[in-house]
Amino acid sequence: MTLPIVLITGQLLTELVWSPLLDAWRDREVILADNQSDDSIGGIAQRLLEAAPTRFVLIGHAMGGFVAFELLRRAPERIAKLVLVSTLASADGPAQTARRQGYIDLVEQGRFADVVEERIPILFPEAKRADARLLGIARRMAAETGADIFLRQQRAIMARMDSRPSLAEINVPTLLVWGDQDGITSRTHQDEMLAAIPGARLEIMSGVGHLPMIEAPEILLPLLTDFIDP
């Protein structure tokens, strides 16, 4: 039986970030979760559960990983397999909170357009920060998201709980995917999840940053397909 796939991504990102995967999975049932309508991780998770199939493969990217942990606390029986891409289990520390507050300050100053420019160095490896295709996608997704939704997402992220205490309770096959040039999540974050989630596997994408779906789909897609449909 081919299970449906639910995709949920992070802030300032739209379905455009999934385009290479959606193109490859045209013959599958793929659901794009709504991460724009709620200002809490719990709200996003509940909305997803109400809209998703009874049982599904969950692929969570960045903030989507935070939602995935909440889904596992609420309805673990609904998730058949779990993929966590470019994410982490801990709550924000002081540096992350300060960075997010800086983004909020820009928006409140009427400078939302500057937010994505501030994020480019942490989204993409140095060698790709002048890549017109990647920058165009990032800017388009930010513009389509808009300031109000961005602030909603920021509130959800900043108030999220620390999921590390519940990692050992995850009992579904789990794949961690991380680009070693990610400027937001670290190898330490991945090792922390790898050690705590029973049977988890980590795949490291060399030279790739925070958005492997558009940076290196030719590498990511086989990893996901082999995991989902072994």
| 116 has pLDDT over 90 | no
Q: What is the pTM of this model?
A: 0.96
Q: What is the pLDDT of residues 158-187, one digit of tens each?
A: 999 999 999 999 999 999 999 999 999 999
| 228 has pLDDT over 90 | yes
- Hey, is 208 helix, strand or coil? coil
- Hey, is 51 helix, strand or coil? helix
Q: How confident is the model at residue 93 (pLDDT cuts 50, 70, 90)?
A: confident
Question: In whole angstroms, how far apart are CA 220 and each of 20, 43, 66, 177?
Answer: 10, 29, 20, 8
Q: What is the pLDDT of residues 200-215, one digit of tens each?
A: 999 999 999 999 999 9
What's residue 95's pLDDT? 86
Most confident stretch, 94-98, 118-122, 203-207: 203-207
User: Percentage of residues in the chain with pLDDT exceeding 70?
Assistant: 100
Phi, psi angles (nearest 5°) of residue 61: -115, 130
CATH number at residue 97: 3.40.50.1820
Q: How confident is the model at residue 96 (pLDDT cuts 50, 70, 90)?
A: confident
As for how many domains the chain has, the answer is 1
- Please check whether residue 49 is in contact with residue 71, taking contact to mean a CB–CB distance below 8 angstroms: yes
Identify which of 230, 134, 122 has the alpha carbon closest to the alpha carbon of residue 184: 122
Q: Domain range for residue 135?
A: 1-230
Q: How far apart are alpha carbons 79 and 57 in whole angstroms?
A: 6
Identify which of 222, 229, 227, 163 has the alpha carbon closest to the alpha carbon of residue 200: 227
What is the separation of C-alpha 169 from the centre of its chain, rounded to a whole number of angstroms?
21
